[in-house]
Structure 1
Amino acid sequence: MGASPLSSWPWENLGSYKYLLYGPLVAKVVTSRGWESTSPDQWCFYLLLLFVLRGATYGFWVMYCNMHFLTRQRRIFKEGIDFAQIDKEWHWDNFFILQCMIGALAFCVFPFLRQLPFWDMTGVGITLLLHVLISEPLYYWAHREFHKGYLFSNYHYLHHSIRIPQAFTACFATPLEHLLLMGVMGVPLLGACLMGHGSWGLLFSYILVFDFLRAMGSSNVEVFSVGLFEAFPVLRNLIYTPTYHSVHHTEKNSNFCLFMPLFDWLGGTMNTKAWELHKEIISGKNDQVPDFVFLAHVVDVSQSLHSQFVLRWQASLPYKFRLILILMWPAAFISMLMLWAWSKTFLFSFYNLRGKLHQVWAVPRYGFQYFLPFAKAGINDQIELAILRADKMGVKVLSLAALNKNEALNGGGTLFVKKHPDLKVRVVHGNTLTAAVILNEIPKGTTEVFLTGATSKLGRAIALYLCRKRVRVMMLTLSVERFNSIQKEAPEEYRQYLVQVTKYQSAQNCKTWIVGKWLSPREQRWAPSGTHFHQFVVPPIISFRRDCTYGNLAAMRLPEDVEGLGTCEYTLERGVIHACHAGGVVHFLEGYTHHEVGAIDVDRIDIVWQAALKHGLRPV
């Protein structure tokens, strides 16, 4: 059986190449200099500008909705947006192409539209009147019809297949529905123009307000205060709220209106639960206390754009530098300065695992700032405040990301545990599992490894673990004292397997390099052909050698029952998190009552590894 007419987009298989369909209009603007007031094709420029602004309207609403640090207490649906929903709504803007084509056709068929004045106030009144008298009841009637039999099962089901509405969800519909919506939106404008009171100002303002209200209704964040409706009860029938619209997604037989609940009241389809739900959400009762928090940090300016509240699609893919980031870099740089001045930890993303809420918080500090001597105290203050905030909220485990647990910064979290001995929240650096992941990557039968960053927390633990397995470990360090200290920790019969080296040349015949200190291309040259670089250095080393292989940073794949995860963790693929993050998750799932800070307990490496596998985490 074939698909129903107008149930799919003709350019569905074009992917991102669909934007080439705007090409003729763009070419006409460029060749005729359509942005100039004297150009006969200025209407083409205005039409393109309108659709750019429309796209920005929906985009900014999605950004706001995903600013969890601002909106978490007013979220309607508490679940997060997952990858499946993001993929489904990937081409949410398909309808722009359709409406742009029809708009261009209208300007060609009706030449008088090209001569519209800039503004006409009379047209505003006419448009509002026609909207209330025609558009609102027309949409209400059509919407109810689309919830019946054939129309729902072949068209409107697609829109309702989205679990957690966001602004893009308002646009996620079939061509038939968007044609109808365009008619609903076009009646007031066409009426004003036919009466001789149309204008460019009216066209822009009405359509943008229309889009603004549509995006607001699906934003999943309540924006209206209860006091406003209590002071002016009539407003409840004149403007819908995100809560009011959300009820339609959960109980599909009510709240069908476009923007005015009045028509639901007249049609007997108003759901009385919406008002009580509105008050409940505004009161903050839906705000959840996380059970686990991963305290992350930003790596660099461009990577700061890799978040749901900037570009949702970008955050849903492993991070890599894209051309669009160049355009946004100045704004990101200004944001960096603002965050540095603001100095407040913010909620980055969240997901649910085993019915428990896991949140990612971020310290507003960038990678390079961790290496500025004067910034050390300020960074520790921010980490400490985050720990105390989590402790006050009732968070059970807080795990520190790479640079937030730097040994030179705070001794791998030891500073905070000593300063606040009564902490209820468990502070975890997660390095025990990181060491376990790296060690389990090393092929069985390996007899010799070369280790840089050998005297760091991870380097020490890896060296001590391997020497017990009778693997010869060449530890690159210039400090005899630090090497001897680590060697003395090994059982006497295994100390011979720990060897101090001071030059990279010493490893020119060793094909297993474990990198804990950044390697320049020149230093990598000493590795023999066929070498594999295991690494726990941040940022990762550059893949310079074509005749060698490079491992990713230690990471693990989350269990399959994770829910609401829609952000990739830095360069890692979907559903994969860094091992230190996973270490904190295991600490929480196992219910460990100790802080995991400071030096790694080598005896616990295998214990934590087995616990991770038991809970469904898997090596990548």
Structure 2
Amino acid sequence: MSSMHAPFVFRSLSSWPFTTTLIFFPSWPFSFLVMLIMWAKSKTFLYTFCHLRGKLLQTWGVPRYGFMYFLPFAKDDINNQIEEAICMADRIGVKVLSLAALNKNEGLNGGGKLFVMKHPDLKVRVVHGNTLTAAVILNEIPIDIKEVFLTGATSKLGRAIALYLARRKVRVLMLTQSTERFKSIQQEAPLENQNFLCQVTEFLAAKHCKTWILGKWALPREQRWAPPGTHFLQFVVPPVFEIRKDCTYGKLAAMRLPDDVQGLGVCEYTLERGAVHACHAGGIVHLLEGWKHHEVGAINVDDIDLVWEAALRHGFKLI
């Protein structure tokens, strides 16, 4: 359904946040056929563009759908599509290429590390943008919070959030079955902060914690362990079902673009016009700052505040 939200399909609808509407249903069989053709033949293509302070910002579409990223036999094909786009961007003089969405999945290409290692002479900077995503999530946590419950705790984002909160002396209940991965992250924290990271193996352990950060899907029965008044922050895709009426739910990390952006005629998926997901904003900040490093692989916790301050300085705002 969301593929029909593209500006070259229904331009008027694409100017509004995506939601499934009745007009999409008669077109579904045709879009399914197009999906099969694209899977077999299509290459990365220009999706939309806008301008910001004399710089051209383009969104390129990888002709693959979300479910394909979870098919083991499709992994190499998707990475080939992304690699071709990076090499083309390098040839035509693109300064920064932000991977976005599932294109930076750790299990797919190590958060973009695969491409940087394979092409060490790239002039284009490859960016996963997750440093700003982590910063947005962390800045939504009240400063006086003393304890959080974290799922997806050993993922790229989960690790960075846990280490940052430990530095703030916030107790982090890290849900993971892997003691080895937990210990590895715990040892990255300064010695005096390591006791703030605690491994838990079931949702029951968070029954008294009112701040949950979800990096993995939480089923309704798992959400029921949260006490009334809990606030759910999340970086899981797709977002969890909002089943608790006595709790509040945050949206996926996103930021509003600077006010001087020009030519923006479409909405980024379910976001309102002028807003983009935090990883997308992270790539734009990388360009505006003129940074020369790649942002791939593990998140550098020391860079979280640096990237956040740069985003605010350039006029990005929390939604």
TM-score (norm 1): 0.51
Instruction: Determine if the alignment matches structure 1 residue 463 to structure 2 residue 162.
Output: yes
* Cα separation, 2, equivalents of 1:402 and 1:511: 28
Deviation at 1:520, TM superposition (A): 1.4
Deviation at 1:529, TM superposition (A): 1.0
- 1:381-396 correspondence to structure 2 within 5 Å: 381-396=80-95
* Cα separation, 1, equivalents of 2:296 and 2:215: 19
Deviation at 1:307, TM superposition (A): 1.0
- 1:210-229 correspondence to structure 2 within 5 Å: none
* Cα separation, 2, equivalents of 1:524 and 1:318: 27
> Which AA in structure 2 matches 1:572?
L
> Which AA in structure 1 matches 2:28?
W
> Which AA in structure 2 matches 1:473?
V
Aligned pairs, how many?
Answer: 319
Residue 241 (structure 1) aligns with: none
Deviation at 1:572, TM superposition (A): 0.7
Per-residue deviation, residues 423-447 of structure 1 (Å, max 9, x unmatched):
0000000000000000000011000
Percent identity over the alignment? 70
> Which AA in structure 1 matches 2:258?
P
SS at match of 2:107: helix
* Cα separation, 1, equivalents of 2:118 and 2:100: 20
SS at match of 1:348: strand
Deviation at 1:343, TM superposition (A): 3.3
SS at match of 1:600: coil
1:474/1:499 contact within 8 Å kept: yes
1:343/1:382 contact within 8 Å kept: no
SS at match of 1:365: coil
Pick aligned residue for 1:560 from 259, 265, 270:
259
1:515/1:533 contact within 8 Å kept: yes
SS at match of 2:20: coil
* Cα separation, 1, equivalents of 2:156 and 2:298: 6
* Cα separation, 2, equivalents of 1:332 and 1:539: 21
* Cα separation, 2, equivalents of 1:319 and 1:551: 18
Moved over 3 A (4+): none
Pick aligned residue for 2:121 from 407, 411, 422:
422
Instruction: Determine if the alignment matches structure 1 residue 310 to structure 2 residue 9.
Output: yes
Pick aligned residue for 2:57 from 350, 358, 365:
358
Residue 546 (structure 1) aligns with: 245
Higher relative contact order (CA 8 A, sep 6+): 2
* Cα separation, 1, equivalents of 2:18 and 2:72: 29
> Which AA in structure 2 matches 1:383?
I
* Cα separation, 2, equivalents of 1:432 and 1:380: 22
Contiguous gaps of at least 5 residues in structure 2: none
- 1:489-568 correspondence to structure 2 within 5 Å: 489-568=188-267
Residue 373 (structure 1) aligns with: 72
* Cα separation, 2, equivalents of 1:477 and 1:328: 42
> Which AA in structure 1 matches 2:182?
F
Deviation at 1:561, TM superposition (A): 0.4
Larger Rg: 1
* Cα separation, 2, equivalents of 1:335 and 1:539: 23
* Cα separation, 2, equivalents of 1:405 and 1:343: 20
* Cα separation, 1, equivalents of 2:291 and 2:154: 27
Residue 309 (structure 2) aligns with: 610
Deviation at 1:312, TM superposition (A): 1.0
Residue 411 (structure 1) aligns with: 110
Contiguous gaps of at least 5 residues in structure 1: 1-301
Deviation at 1:338, TM superposition (A): 1.1
1:315/1:568 contact within 8 Å kept: yes
> Which AA in structure 2 matches 1:364?
P
Residue 203 (structure 1) aligns with: none
Per-residue deviation, residues 213-241 of structure 1 (Å, max 9, x unmatched):
xxxxxxxxxxxxxxxxxxxxxxxxxxxxx
SS at match of 1:475: strand
Pick aligned residue for 2:38 from 339, 348, 351:
339
| Root mean square deviation, CA, Å | 0.6
Instruction: Determine if the alignment matches structure 1 residue 487 to structure 2 residue 197.
Output: no
